[in-house]
Amino acid sequence: MAHKVKNVTEKLDDIANEKNKFILTEGVGENEADRFDWRITSSLVNESEIFGRDKEKEELTSLLLANSDDLCVCVPCGMGGLGKTTLAQLVYNDASVKGHFDLRIWVCVSVDFDIRRLSRGIIESVEGNPCTIQELDTLQRLLQEKLIGRRFLLVLDDVWDHYHEKWNELKDALRVGARGCAVIITTRLKQVADKMATIPVHLMGRLSEDDSWLLFERLAFGMRRSEEYVHLESTGKAIVDKCSGVPLALKSLGSLMRLKRHEQQWSSIKESEIWNLPDEGGTILPALKLSYNNLPPHLKQCFGFCCIFPKDYVMKKDQLVKLWMANGFIDPEG
């Protein structure tokens, strides 16, 4: 035990030395909000790569267009990887939605529901210019100036925070819009959805068997002719079945299989014991673990090294690459 403790201590000392070597500092960076930008999304979507969401898109779009209330709040809700963001993107970019609303605004919320950051994000989306105002009252007055009398669609993507007073504070600032304004909020958390929605929560469904195969097939085989992979189709459909209609799992496995051309390689994925791992959704963790296991050894080391950083830590690309090189994970010569 003493020997193990000594080894751990030595490793921690090495990390501390590397921090000094690369001039890494502890604490908050220049922009406090950057700490929370661990998953950034945008409104852009490639609809040719989306399968099985037409019905949900039509239902949600119809609700928004028919709304005549002051502020309709619709919340697609479900576990990670089901396609909540994708559904919001499809609705946001629908031609009828573009024509119906005076303004369309997309803000990625992620971990922290920070009123100042979200207000700035909305203002920047409307103006197209950076907003540096820090005072909340000034921000919200400017926000209302930009929205007053206009019918807008606001998407707040990936909401985690369930503090009701924060949402009420932002919602109060949004009420100056014209009748028929709408907000789409995506979240994994049912308690968040229940508190924020003004209409019944939209519980995300899984993809059908046919749509699951179409998504997997597009990623695994690309533009190859069907006769080129007919020998892999039955195994591929067995892998798809294990993904249980979860788009993230299908994308992960489809991308993984793209470079695997031999039946034995496909069978090893289908029969892997990793599928037996416990997981909330039963598919996402095993699918991602299989993708990780099939990375080259040096890339596994690079990913593993990132685990020493705390959650929400913003890793600067150049600094991270230098740390990888210092630890011998990648060759400085390329």
Cβ neighbours around 313 below 10 Å, total: 11
Structure tokens, 29? 């960076």
Reference 221, options 199, 206, 240; nearest CA is 240
Helical segments of 148-246, H only: 164-174, 190-196, 209-221, 233-242
pLDDT over 60 at 139, yes or no: yes
Q: pLDDT-derived band of residue 2, with 50, 70 and 90 as boundaries? A: low
Q: Which tens digit of pLDDT belongs to each residue from 155-211?
A: 999 998 767 788 889 999 999 999 999 999 999 999 999 999 999 999 999 999 999
Structure tokens, 225? 């002719």
Reference 181, options 227, 135, 122; nearest CA is 122
Q: For position 279, what pLDDT does the model report?
A: 58
Highest mean pLDDT among 36-50, 236-250, 306-320: 236-250
Q: For position 261, what pLDDT does the model report?
A: 84
- DSSP-based three-state secondary structure for 38: coil
Reference 253, options 273, 275, 231; nearest CA is 275
| % of residues, the chain, pLDDT over 90 | 54
What DSSP element (H or E) covers 39?
none
> Which ranges in the chain are annotated with CATH 3.40.50.300?
35-203
What's the half-sphere exposure (Cβ side, CA atoms, 13 Å) at 303? Answer: 12
- Residues of 99-126 as b/e, b for ≥16 C-beta within 10 angstroms? ebbebbbbbbbbbbbbbbbbbbbbbebb
Q: For position 251, what pLDDT does the model report?
A: 93
| % of residues, the chain, pLDDT over 70 | 81
Q: For position 222, what pLDDT does the model report?
A: 87
Give me the residue label for tokens 């303004």: 103
What DSSP element (H or E) covers 200?
none
Residue type (1 letter), 278: P
Q: pLDDT-derived band of residue 35, with 50, 70 and 90 as boundaries? A: very low
pLDDT over 90 at 53, yes or no: yes
Reference 269, options 216, 318, 305, 315; nearest CA is 216
Q: For position 278, what pLDDT does the model report?
A: 66
Q: Which tens digit of pLDDT belongs to each residue from 75-124?
A: 999 998 999 999 999 999 999 999 999 999 999 998 778 899 999 999 99
Highest mean pLDDT among 20-34, 36-50, 129-143, 288-302: 129-143
Helical segments of 148-208, H only: 164-174, 190-196
Q: pLDDT-derived band of residue 29, with 50, 70 and 90 as boundaries? A: very low
Whole-number average pLDDT of the chain? 84
Least confident among 181-190, 263-272, 294-303:
294-303
pLDDT over 50 at 37, yes or no: no
Point out which residues pair with 153 in neighbouring strands.
104, 182
What's the half-sphere exposure (Cβ side, CA atoms, 13 Å) at 119? Answer: 25
Q: pLDDT-derived band of residue 9, with 50, 70 and 90 as boundaries? A: low
Please check whether residue 178 is in contact with residue 103, taking contact to mean a CB–CB distance below 8 angstroms: no
The DSSP result for 254-282, as a single string, is HHHHTT--SHHHHHHHHT-GGGGS--SSS
Structure tokens, 325? 């090189």
What superfamily in CATH does domain 35-203 come from? P-loop containing nucleotide triphosphate hydrolases (3.40.50.300)
Q: For position 120, what pLDDT does the model report?
A: 95
Cβ neighbours around 14 below 10 Å, total: 12
In angstroms, the first-to-last Cα distance of the chain is 40
Structure tokens, 265? 């390689």
